[in-house]
Structure 1
C-alpha cells in the first residue's frame, strides 16, 4: 500500500467513528486503488483533497521498461509529479484544474536528447515541440550555465538542460577553443574548476594522452564529476571501460578493439587523421578487405565486456552517416526553424565535404555496417545504449532529428521498444534517476508526451504529438506550433535585416587565394554578416589582408534601415579611416609620436613606442586586433587604445588600455584559431573578443562581448 494511503488510514484511527463519512471511505479506497495500481518505491501521494493540477483521461501508457501497452489508464498529476495511475472508469475520483482526453492516444515519457549542442532558448523550444523534455549539452561555456539557470525559472516552457563545460583535449587539440591539458596537475585543476563553476559533467576529446586520461578519471572521482566524451585515440577500450568513463560518444574507437594487430592508425575520424583516411580509401578501392583488418569473431567478447561495465554508449548514428556515401540532407520543412548562422555553417561544411573522396566514403560505408553489427551485439549482451543526434551538425535539426536517430537504432537490431527505451528509460538510468525520469510511473516527474499513434508500431509515430507535459505543465500541439512559428518569423526577420546591404567586392586581383577558414566557412575576402546582441542591429564586414596591410569595409544599418559604410586601411604604423559621413581620419606614427588628424587638422598627439589602435566596439576590432598580432611577437603588450565610434565623431584623447593576449599565438590569419582576447581600458570596462572561439555548433564561432552585455555575433 502506498505511503499516502497509510498516512490517511493512520489519521482515521484518531478520529471519532461518527466523523468517518461515506465520502471519506470512498476517497480512502480510491486513493489506495489509484496509488497501488501502477506505482513504485519513490511514489508520492496525491493531495488528500480530490483537486489536482492535471488529469490525462483514459490514455494508453507505453511501458518503456517492458515494451507493453497499458490501455485505459487515468494519469493524475499534481505538483509537477505523477501522483496516481489507475484503470479509467466513468466515476471520477479526482477533479482537475485541467483534464485532457487521452482516449485512443498513447502516453510516453518525455524523450531525452543525450548528445546535443545548444546555446539558445529557441533551440530548446524546438526540442520541447518534438516531445524532448531533457537535453544533454556536450559543449558548454559560461553563457550555457546562464542559459540553464534562466530556463529553470520557466514553468514547463523548456526541457531541462544538463551541460558539460569547455571540452578538454590533449596537445594538439582538434579544435582551438578546447582546453588543452597535458599533465596530471592540470587535469585535477581543470576538473576542479568545472565542478566549482557548476557544470554537470566534463567532456574529454580524442587527442588526450593516456596518462592525462587517467588523471581526469581520478579527478572526476575526487570532485564527484563524471568524465564522458570521446574515447581518446590512444586509450585502450578495455582500460576506459574498467576506469569508469561514464559515456562514450559517437562509438569512436570501439571498433578498433576488433583490429587483428596493433594498429599504426585507428578506424575513426578519417577527416582528422590522414592515416585513417588512407586506410579507408584502400578499403573503398577494394585493395584491402575490412574483414582482413578486423576479427569479427571477437565481437561477442567485446560485447560481453561492454555489458559488464557501467559505461553508456551514445552512438549518434545519424551524424556518423555524414562520413558515408549516404550522408544527411536538408529537410525543406524544417529549414524555417534553422538559425541563419547554422545555415551558413551547414553550407560551408557541405561544400568542404565535396572534397572528401569517394573511396574514403565507400570505406566508411563498410565501417558503418561494422559499427551497426557491433552495437547490436553489445545491446543484446546488455550494454547500455543512449540516443543522441549531435545537433546541429549538418543535417541534424534540434528536436526534429531525434526521432530519426531513434529509428536508426533499429538498423543495429534494436526493436522499436528497445530503441524507444534508449531515448527514455536508459537516459534516466544513466542519470541515476530511476523512478523519477524516463517512465510513466507513480512518483516520477511529470515529463510526458501524448501521441496520436502507437510508436511501438512505427517509431515515426513519435512525430504525432498531441501535447507535451513538462514539469506538470501541459502544452498542446497548437501552442507548441505557435511557438515554432514565432521562431521561424524571428529568423526570417534577421535575414530581412540584410536586405539592401552593400555588396562588397574585393578590390585586389589575388582574392581567389583561400586565406582563412573557420569551421569550414571561408570568411576572408568575402562579406561576413553580424547581428548586435539585441538581434535587431545588422552589420556587414569584409576584410582583405596582405602581409603588409589590412583593408576593412564595414557597413552598419541604422534604425531607419539606411546603410552607412566606413572604410579602414591599416598598416603597421598607420590607420586611415573614411567614416560613413565622409569624415577622413588618419592615425600615424612618426619619430615615436602617434598623431591623429581630421583632414589636415591635428586632433591630438601621443608619444608611444607601442601601437595605438582604435577600439570601436564593432566587429572591426576583431580584424584589427588579430592583424596587430600578426605583426607583433609580443605576448602581453600594453596597447594604447583610441576609443571612438566609427559611425560618429571622435572626441577626446586616447585612453590607456591593456590586452590579455594569451590566445594570440594561435592566430595565423584574421578570424581563425584564438581563444579569447580581453581588452581592458580605464573607464571603458572590458571587451572580450572571441576569435574562432564561442560554441561552433551554436553557430557563432566569432563573437564580441562587452563586460557582461552581449555584443556582436557572427550571423553567417
Structure 2
C-alpha cells in the first residue's frame, strides 16, 4: 500500500511539473508577442487623426477622390472633404499618396499571434478564420477590447463533418440533433459563423441550416459531397469555398467549359451567396511538385513551426510521392489550376460576388503574403484592377452583416486603411508593402510593420502551438 501511495505521489508530481512547464511555455510565448500590445506601444495608441493631402480610392465606386482630407475620430471615419478644420488633433500628411480600404482575407487558419502581425504587414486589416478553436475566441476578445494590434478578427467554430471523416481536425456529427446542439453551443461560446465540411448528409445538413437560421449564425460552406452541389446555394450559406470543389464535385474532374456554364448559372442565381476561389492554396500543390526544396526556402520561415513540421511536410510528401508514381500528375494539376482561372472569369462574368481567400496558414500558403498572389491570379483571370480590389474589400465586407463597417472609405466606416505610393487601380502590386496602415484608426508605419515580419520569422513556439491545439482537442472534441 505504501508503494502505491509513493507511486501516486510521483505520478501527481510529474503531472504537476508538466502542467507548470506548460504554463511557463505559454507565458513565454505570450510574452514574445507583446510587441502587438497596444498599451505597451503608447506612441502608436492614438486612434484619431486628420489626414491631409491624400488621394482616396473609396471602393464604393470606381473612382479616385483627389486631394482630400479624412478625419478619423476614435477609429471611425468621421468626415471626408476637400477641407476639414478640427482643433487639437494630430495632422498626418498623406503626401499625395493613395488611401485604400485595408484588405480582407476571407479564408485563413490562424495558429498564433505572430501571424496577426504578418497579416497587418501585408495590408490585411481583417481576416475570417475558418477553423475555430478556444484560442481564437481569446484573440477575438482581445481584438474587440482593442488590447492588441491585429486585423479585425472573425472566426467560425470547429469544422462540422460527417461521422466517417475521422481526424482531430474534424468535429464529427452522427445525428441531426447533435448538429443543432453544437451550433447552439458555438453561438453561446462566441464563435461568429458555422463552418460546414465534408461528409454531411442531407438530414444533418438540413439540421445545420435550420439551427443556424434559428441561432442567427451565417454558414461558410466547404461543400459536402453527400449532397448535390446546388444544395449549398441556401440563403443561410453566405459563401462557398474553393474553386477546386466545382471541379471535384459537379464536374467530376472533367475540365469542360460547356459543362461548367450551368453550374456558374446556378451560383449566379443565388444572389445571397459569395464564392471564395482560394486559387493560391491549390496552385501551391503545383509549386511543391516543381520545387523539391520548397520546405527549406526562405519564405517558409514565416510559417508556424508546428504546421511546417507537420502539415507542410505531409502535404509536400503527398505530392512529391504522387509525382514519383505518376509524373503526368504535374501537368494535370497545372491544367486544373488554369481551369480555376476560367472558373473565376465565368463567375465574374455571371455577376457572382467573388471574395478573396487564400487558405493562409496551412501547407505552404503563407499568412499575409499569399493574398497578393491570390489577387494576382484574379487579375490573370481577366478581372480589372478595380474588380480584383473589390474581392478583398467591399465584396468581402458585404458577405456578413457583422463585417459591413469594413471594406470602403466612407463616413461612418471603421478606419482600417492602407496608404500606398501608387494607385492600385493602375498598379496592383503597390498593395504589397503599404507605407502605413491604419487599424481602427491607429497608425503603423513601414518600419513597425517590417518588425512584425522579423518577429514572426523563425519563431520558436512549436510546443506552445501544440499545447493550444491540445486544449482544442480536450474542449471541442
**TM-score, normalized by the shorter chain, greater than 0.5:** yes
Q: Does 1:354 align with 2:320?
A: yes
1:167 is paired with a residue of what secondary structure?
A: strand
Q: Deviations over 1:247-277 (max 9, x none)?
A: 1111243236764xxxxxx33xxxxxxxxxx
- How far, CA to CA, are the matches of 2:455 and 2:86 in structure 1? 36
TM-score, normalised via structure 2 length: 0.81
Q: Is the 8 A contact 1:257 1:302 kept in 2?
A: no
What does residue range 338-487 of structure 1 map to in structure 2 within 5 Å? 338-345=303-310, 346-357=312-323, 358-432=327-401, 436-487=405-456
Q: Is the 8 A contact 1:128 1:158 kept in 2?
A: yes
1:319 is paired with a residue of what secondary structure?
A: helix
Q: Deviations over 1:525-553 (max 9, x none)?
A: xxxxx64x5xxxxxxxxxxxxxxxxxxxx
- How far, CA to CA, are the matches of 2:340 and 2:51 in structure 1? 41
Q: Is the 8 A contact 1:120 1:147 kept in 2?
A: no
Q: Which residue matches 2:9?
A: none
Which among 238, 244, 260 is matched to residue 230 of structure 2?
238
Which among 160, 173, 182 is matched to residue 174 of structure 2?
182
Q: Is the 8 A contact 2:154 2:192 kept in 1?
A: yes
Shift of 1:441: 0.8
Q: Which residue matches 1:66?
A: 61
1:478 is paired with a residue of what secondary structure?
A: helix
Q: Is the 8 A contact 2:135 2:468 kept in 1?
A: no
Task: Note closer, same or farther for the CA distance 1:150–1:220 as it changes in structure 2 (3 Å cut).
Answer: same
Q: Is the 8 A contact 1:54 1:96 kept in 2?
A: no
Q: Which residue matches 1:337?
A: 302
Shift of 1:96: 5.3
Q: Is the 8 A contact 2:218 2:400 kept in 1?
A: no
Q: Is the 8 A contact 1:77 1:84 kept in 2?
A: yes
- How far, CA to CA, are the matches of 2:269 and 2:290 in structure 1? 33
What does residue range 640-655 of structure 1 map to in structure 2 within 5 Å? none
Shift of 1:116: 0.4
Q: Is the 8 A contact 1:127 1:398 kept in 2?
A: yes
Q: Which residue matches 1:77?
A: 72
- How far, CA to CA, are the matches of 1:226 and 1:67 in structure 2? 29
Q: Deviations over 1:306-354 (max 9, x none)?
A: 1221111111001011334776856955444333323323234323321
Q: Deviations over 1:441-493 (max 9, x none)?
A: 111111111111221222211013111111111111122223333334xx45x
Q: Which residue matches 2:5?
A: none
2:362 is paired with a residue of what secondary structure?
A: coil
2:55 is paired with a residue of what secondary structure?
A: strand
- How far, CA to CA, are the matches of 1:702 and 1:188 in structure 2? 26
Q: Which residue matches 2:266?
A: 305
Q: Is the 8 A contact 2:198 2:222 kept in 1?
A: yes
Q: Which residue matches 1:569?
A: none
Q: Is the 8 A contact 1:72 1:103 kept in 2?
A: no
- How far, CA to CA, are the matches of 2:296 and 2:120 in structure 1? 19
Task: Note closer, same or farther for the CA distance 1:370–1:479 as it changes in structure 2 (3 Å cut).
Answer: closer
- How far, CA to CA, are the matches of 1:178 and 1:216 in structure 2? 15
Task: Note closer, same or farther for the CA distance 1:257–1:168 as it changes in structure 2 (3 Å cut).
Answer: closer
2:317 is paired with a residue of what secondary structure?
A: helix
Shift of 1:147: 2.2
Q: Is the 8 A contact 2:300 2:364 kept in 1?
A: no
Higher Rg of the two aligned structures: 1
Task: Note closer, same or farther for the CA distance 1:183–1:375 as it changes in structure 2 (3 Å cut).
Answer: same
Q: Is the 8 A contact 1:113 1:423 kept in 2?
A: yes
Shift of 1:84: 0.7
Q: Does 1:149 align with 2:141?
A: yes
Q: Which residue matches 2:108?
A: 116
- How far, CA to CA, are the matches of 2:63 and 2:155 in structure 1? 33
Matched positions, count: 422
- How far, CA to CA, are the matches of 1:383 and 1:389 in structure 2? 18
Compute the RMSD of aligned alpha carbons: 2.9
Shift of 1:155: 5.2
Q: Does 1:700 align with 2:466?
A: yes
- How far, CA to CA, are the matches of 2:105 and 2:359 in structure 1? 9
TM-score, normalised via structure 1 length: 0.55
The structure that is helix-richer by fraction is 2
Task: Note closer, same or farther for the CA distance 1:467–1:155 as it changes in structure 2 (3 Å cut).
Answer: farther
Q: Does 1:130 align with 2:131?
A: no
- How far, CA to CA, are the matches of 2:470 and 2:203 in structure 1? 36
Q: Does 1:323 align with 2:323?
A: no
Q: Deviations over 1:365-419 (max 9, x none)?
A: 3332222212211111111111111111232111111111111112222111111
Q: Is the 8 A contact 2:212 2:236 kept in 1?
A: no
Q: Which residue matches 2:23?
A: none
Task: Note closer, same or farther for the CA distance 1:243–1:705 as it changes in structure 2 (3 Å cut).
Answer: closer
Q: Is the 8 A contact 2:71 2:77 kept in 1?
A: yes
Shift of 1:172: 1.0
- How far, CA to CA, are the matches of 2:338 and 2:216 in structure 1? 37
Task: Note closer, same or farther for the CA distance 1:211–1:146 as it changes in structure 2 (3 Å cut).
Answer: same
Q: Is the 8 A contact 1:60 1:103 kept in 2?
A: no
2:91 is paired with a residue of what secondary structure?
A: strand
Q: Is the 8 A contact 2:220 2:240 kept in 1?
A: yes
- How far, CA to CA, are the matches of 2:471 and 2:333 in structure 1? 41
Task: Note closer, same or farther for the CA distance 1:483–1:96 as it changes in structure 2 (3 Å cut).
Answer: farther
Task: Note closer, same or farther for the CA distance 1:327–1:211 as it changes in structure 2 (3 Å cut).
Answer: farther
Q: Which moved more, 1:411-420 or 1:466-475?
A: 411-420
Q: Deviations over 1:267-315 (max 9, x none)?
A: 3xxxxxxxxxxxxxxxxxxxxxx46xx4x23444332321221111111
The structure that is strand-richer by fraction is 1
Shift of 1:136: 0.6
Shift of 1:426: 0.7
